[in-house]
Structure 1
């Protein structure tokens, strides 16, 4: 055996070994083989090409649905496995075609396949570039989105469904095309499980189907328009009249049996709810609750839903449309259903971060607004300077001149305080005759300078009838390198400092 032949054999053996080890792109250089081995090399290349095609067909069948050319259940499992290994959060939508069996039984499987493909086409056209759609059963699809949140995906699917219904409700199509869906957002790194994801999305999908399934025209009957919305749970005009009576209070009604709900226009505006009648609104609301408060709120609401509790009252933080957390008082009652009436949950949410936190006498923020402001600074871990100002002898002014006079003194003091702070800080009437100025952009020396100016100018004379009255006052300053305590603890320290502060004397009332 000559050396050229031996080297050719070794080249063929090495090529086969690379293929056995999983290489899919290696090629045999047939032209480099000796003439007596080239025919063998060419035949080997042809055989390997056939085997590669068969392997690709097998993989295609393992992961691709033959009718729609989408990924199948195996493809979905492989894709979710990849997301789970990366720890990537994503939203999944379980989608079920409405009345596919009815279509197959009445119009045949060929029409049923066309029905499936029409749903597939509508879903594909509405997808974002980073989303994937899988057909995991005869009438079941799953859409995976790594970027879209739950509410956004629900809105997009609702829009797609409405367009499908409208396009096929003219009597020309054999079926009114429609589907039901349920969405669930999961985060593997947060401890979510795949079983939890599947159960949550599947449950929402079936509840949606119960609420919104389209009625198909029966043979011989006049075409029925699709039923896409149930009537609201109460008179809509009455509800809106109640809901618009206050900018800070948001009534709501939730049907616990179907998930249907009704919220005020103000709640939709201030908390970015998807609509006034969102489906599964408890989950939508919980997604907006501050992460530190969410578990406690979920536990209480679960007890209301399952009938363990009939009354819910909590104060917690909810993200508003601006992306900031608002302190809210949430009160609700469960109304048990009867044979003809559903189980209902009705209540009201009060936004403590709006007008209810304004002091009516001075126009400054009140104690609730002050607590919110300190709490916000605590969450962003910023330094703070606080100046407490107490107007002494307001009780004596009220007793001698009346409460209107006392309010005038406080209002004049608030106006002077605004002039002294020159817009550098936020001002609050804490309690009674005490004010607090909160600064987060001044260093301690600048804060002390503002406090000195307040001492000099805040006690300006106020005319009470013909009597010129200059209120005595006390000023105390507190510097914090970082706000790392509860607001109540900080306010208690301020109260202690103001009690020890020397009085800047004013007019004697004796």
Structure 2
């Protein structure tokens, strides 16, 4: 083997090694190879070029929605990740097509696809050059704008929607085209999280849908049931049942009209618009946690269309305070007759209110905290903790009574909520100890919040004529992954609090 052939062979081997290690820009100088190796080199280059094209096509398909040619959910995640790295603020709009299921059921999926493309075309025609639109689900879109403000984007989408409704309200279009939307302004450098962004825009979109969704014309030949709008339940009896338990909420839903009847307690605790709201399924879904909503929607659709007659799920629902309550939801479908409507009757049990809310502070109690840590352990999610202990509560109780001690703890909880600004979940752990749990903040952000808590948590409480400033201790813990039992983590927080310096308050002689 001559030296020229050996060097050429080494060049080919090096080229293959670089390709195997993921160097897509690896090059091979075929002209410099000896004659015996040039054919092999040319074939390797052709194969590499073909593989590169296929790889690019696969990557493109992984991030592109085939129907609309827009980015898909993966494309949105990649785009938002880039925006988060730059740290520049931006506005996102969550957009949901109205009545797509009605269109598919009544006119077929081909017409449903035309409906989607019509909405897509109307949105893209009004977009700025630096904006991007993504289709993240069957009827869901997200528009991302790095320059347009929240109010300006809302106004623009409102105009697009109004034009669509006007253009399709005649007899020529199969149905009226419209969509619902919610906008949220995001600033990564200000501490906003992607979870907050999603929940804020999603919640606004569902509230908009409840208030503005266009009703489609009813078929003139559809059978009409004159008593379908009546409920087979005496209002006084229903109210008596609904008031019998603070944690249970009975409901009745007329599946033919969308009207429902809810308990007085449910109206109060979940901030429902009335005891007899319309669009009841959408109204309820608007309050379901975004991470649970798709599963709940799927099951309720099965009940509404008659596939299932029994429904049971446990999921999170937003209450009147804006917090999410864990609820057990059980219901039965009652099929209608010529004279009776299709009904869905059930009961909702508020587990959070029943078992896991501290009565003094209104925060989650130790059971809720253990459940939250256990949930993070199951999904191997990183977590940050801030533990706060209010010292001298025993002395306050002994000198001024337990009501005074409870007032100090309640005021401390209120200050803790202000300091956390909704970025974490708050709990009263044991006695005078609180724990704030964060799953999307890094160590520096958590330490910054802890410093802010040290400055502001000990706000004065008036006890008789004494303006009392509670002394506190603050400790932090950050885990790249929750891989321990909750009790072990709580014990470590307790030990850190014991070693933490006290932020002095009022001395009780």
TM bracket, shorter-chain basis:
0.3 to 0.5
- Structure with higher Rg: it is 1
Tell me the TM-score normalized by structure 1: 0.43
Tell me the TM-score normalized by structure 2: 0.43
